């Protein structure tokens, strides 16, 4: 196979890939709840993720960008709780990635049903099992799926006693995301499945115009007995590639919050792809949770080379020599979201208060610089005095930092 002509970068995300400490937050390829996306992105950007994966939807991208801006505004005042290379998020923002699919894929679907078809005496197991409260009833025969809240996990589909719920698939197309918006994204992930060379190739051709803008390309594929030959064929289609390539081993999609055992599928697939020696990086996903890193470490699949000093070491096909044969990183989706979701509503007041304090401080500093008189007005409330360390925001940050740190800190849970 052709080797990639990888362009290296001094940015923290690229350093994390090379060091084997890359962490990505998956908001969901179909998740379009903009307020929640904004807060999730803010919390995990502060916690130290290298990348955030979102739906290829303009409104979602803008919400994610606002979340990054919120994180950048707060980062200088939260420095003791952040990684050293993330204390100035103005210049070291996580990369923003959008997801596309070459054909039908579970990540790009929404549940749908007509509540009029639900029995009056139904226990509504679909409502109870939905992780985002996307299924809501207002009365007999009224209600359904709130589309923006549904991310396609499919948990409601098999438990409906009358088979009233269906899945509506869509394809996220590059032409839906016009060129004048490309400056807002840093990376793209292509979801594919074994046997779709033609569909993948067609999508890749459509992405030609995106290439000058991108810093990274990721390919996500579930397991199959022919997955390794298939990934090799995909590499032949895209090579040579001037940016880093990630193989995302999508073990058990959208399931990490169900229990520790969901992580085994992604670990098995990661082992398979690592064993094939494909050019690029391998990143675990699909069923990942707080158990995943420890299990990877037990199997010798984690190489921890601290990236916070800014040293990546000598590379082979884009990875440090020590990291070849190890995963480069991990992506957390449903588990990461579920971890902090109960706190998001309560922390909104905190966020508004703190951002207002930051704005007041910045306004005061600007006015002080322009003031020519010798007397000094009292400073507005210092931001560190406005921070309540028992607040929902700080609790959420602590939980997110603990999850991200499982790989970045090299520690055990």
Confirm whether 358 is domain-assigned. Answer: no
CB–CB of 231/200 below 8 Å?
A: no
pLDDT greater than 80 at residue 280: yes
Strand-pairing partners, residue 315, are 320
CB–CB of 56/27 below 8 Å?
A: no
Span 226-277, pLDDT tens digits: 999 999 999 999 999 999 999 999 999 999 999 999 999 999 999 999 999 9
* C-alpha span between 194 and 46 (Å, rounded): 36
Cβ count near 351 (within 10 Å): 20
Q: Are residues 164 and 214 in the same domain?
A: no
Confidence of residue 4 (pLDDT cuts 50, 70, 90): very low
Give the pLDDT score at 226: 98
Q: What does each C-alpha distance from 325 to 4, 245, 403 come to in angstroms?
A: 17, 15, 23
Decide: helix, strand or coil at residue 82.
Answer: coil
Altogether, the residues listed in the chain come to a count of 413
CB–CB of 247/190 below 8 Å?
A: no
Strand-pairing partners, residue 142, are 139
pLDDT greater than 70 at residue 365: no
Identify the domain containing residue 150 by its residue range. 109-168
Q: Which of 337, 365, 387 is the last residue of a domain?
A: 337
Q: Domain count of the chain? A: 2
Q: Are residues 116 and 132 in the same domain?
A: yes
Q: Are residues 181 and 161 in the same domain?
A: no
The alpha carbon of residue 226 and the mean position of all alpha carbons in its chain are separated, in whole angstroms, by 27
> Please, what sign has the CA dihedral across residues 177, 180, 184, 189?
positive
Q: What is the DSSP string of 334-352?
A: HHHHHHHHHHHHHHHHHHH
Confidence of residue 103 (pLDDT cuts 50, 70, 90): very high
Q: Are residues 164 and 176 in the same domain?
A: no
Of 106, 20, 11, residue with least CA distance to 318? 20
CB–CB of 101/171 below 8 Å?
A: yes
pLDDT greater than 60 at residue 321: no
What is the helix (H) or strand (E) element at residue 354, kind and residue range? helix 334-370
Confirm whether 49 is domain-assigned. Answer: yes
- The pTM of this model reads 0.90
Confirm whether 380 is domain-assigned. Answer: no
Confirm whether 178 is domain-assigned. Answer: yes
Q: Are residues 328 and 269 in the same domain?
A: yes
pLDDT greater than 80 at residue 364: no
76: domain CATH number is: 3.20.20
Specify burial of residue 1 (Cβ count, 10 A radius: 0-12, 13-18, 19+): exposed
Span 140-198, pLDDT tens digits: 778 999 999 999 999 999 999 999 999 999 999 898 777 778 999 999 999 999 999 99
Span 188-225, pLDDT tens digits: 999 999 999 999 999 999 999 899 999 999 999 999 99
């Amino acid at each position: 196979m052709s080797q990639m002509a990888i362009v290296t970068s001094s940015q923290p995300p690229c350093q994390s890939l090379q060091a084997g400490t890359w962490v990505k937050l998956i908001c969901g390829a179909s998740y379009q709840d903009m307020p929640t996306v904004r807060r999730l992105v803010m919390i995990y950007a502060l916690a130290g993720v290298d990348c955030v994966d979102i739906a290829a939807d303009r409104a979602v991208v803008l919400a994610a960008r606002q979340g990054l801006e919120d994180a950048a505004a707060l980062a200088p005042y939260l420095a003791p709780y952040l990684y050293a290379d993330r204390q100035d998020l103005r210049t070291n923002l996580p990369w923003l990635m959008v997801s596309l699919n070459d054909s039908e894929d579970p990540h790009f679907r929404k549940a749908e049903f007509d509540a009029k078809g639900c029995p009056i005496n139904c226990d509504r197991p679909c409502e109870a099992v939905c992780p985002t409260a996307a299924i809501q009833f207002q009365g007999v025969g009224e209600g359904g799926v709130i589309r923006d809240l549904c991310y396609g996990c499919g948990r409601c589909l098999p438990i409906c006693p009358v088979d009233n719920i269906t899945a509506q698939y869509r394809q996220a197309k590059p032409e839906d995301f016009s060129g004048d918006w490309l400056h807002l994204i840093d990376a793209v992930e292509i979801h594919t499945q074994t046997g779709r060379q033609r569909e993948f190739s067609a999508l890749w051709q459509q992405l030609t115009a995106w290439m000058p803008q991108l810093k990274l390309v990721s390919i996500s594929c579930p397991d199959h007995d022919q997955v390794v030959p298939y990934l090799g064929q995909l590499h032949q289609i895209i090579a040579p590639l001037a940016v880093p390539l990630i193989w995302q081993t999508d073990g058990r999609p959208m399931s990490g919050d169900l229990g520790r055992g969901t992580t085994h599928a992604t670990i098995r697939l990661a082992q398979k792809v690592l064993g094939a020696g494909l050019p690029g990086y391998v990143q675990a996903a699909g069923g990942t949770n707080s158990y995943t890193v420890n299990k990877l470490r037990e199997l010798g699949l984690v190489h921890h080379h601290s990236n916070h000093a800014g040293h990546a070491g000598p590379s082979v096909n884009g990875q440090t020599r020590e990291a070849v044969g190890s995963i480069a990183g991990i992506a957390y989706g449903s588990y990461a979201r579920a971890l902090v979701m109960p706190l998001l509503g309560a922390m909104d007041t905190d966020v508004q208060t703190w951002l207002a304090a930051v704005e007041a401080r910045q306004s005061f500093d600007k006015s002080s610089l322009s003031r020519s008189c010798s007397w000094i007005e009292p400073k507005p409330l210092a931001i560190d005095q406005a921070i309540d360390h028992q607040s929902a925001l700080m609790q959420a940050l602590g939980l997110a930092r603990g999850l991200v740190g499982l790989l970045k800190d090299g520690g055990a849970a």
